[in-house]
Structure 1
Amino acid sequence: MSTPKQVPQEYYDLLEEIQAIDFVLVELNLYLNTHPNDTEAIQQFNQCSYESRKLKKQFEKKFGPLMHFGKSYSGYSWNWDNPPWPWQV
């Protein structure tokens, strides 16, 4: 097994932003399950969803795949074996 390489602080900062916005999305999703007509919450959910996709795209462009099972593309050459994985940091 290869030794994980050192990653820049930006890696951690961007990953933390993604985790924070995805937490908000989970909470909004739970809220909207019981308040499906709250247009302000729906608008906030959609904005956060857009921001989450934007941050993930930015992360993958700089640091490689973030999600598996076809939700993230691989670069050439295959870059799924380049540590560290986001859950390893």
Structure 2
Amino acid sequence: MKKAGDNYYDLLLEIQQIDFVIIELNLYLNTHPNDQAAIAQYNEFVQRSMQLKKNFEALYGPLTSFGYSFSPTPWQWGKAPWPWQV
């Protein structure tokens, strides 16, 4: 298994934590669709997640494939340890 530096793991952990909050807010909003404060939080965390993923991919390569991430030349998908390998 490939190894990465501490920053790789720290950034990946932060992405996972933010995405967990997004999932929980999504579940809450399914039953409370008019909660404007929760919607604002959801949108804030989605924006933060998108920025973290953009930063991660700029440093370490794509988090996902199949049309969710752009790739520079040369193809980057196999370069860094994949998120499920760490």
TM-score normalised by L of structure 2: 0.95
- The answer on 1:46 being equivalent to 2:53 is no
The one-letter amino acid paired with 1:46 is: N
Greater RCO (Cα-Cα under 8 Å, separation 6 or more): 2
Residue 20 (structure 1) shift: 0.2
- In 1, Cα distance between equivalents of 2:29 and 2:41: 11
The gaps in structure 1 that reach 5 residues or longer are none
Give the unaligned 5+ runs of structure 2.
Answer: none
Query: Does the 8 Å contact 2:62/2:70 carry over to 1?
Result: yes
Identical residues among aligned pairs (%)? 57
Q: How many residues align?
A: 86
Over aligned residues, Cα RMSD in angstroms? 1.0
The alignment's TM-score, normalised by the length of structure 1, stands at 0.92
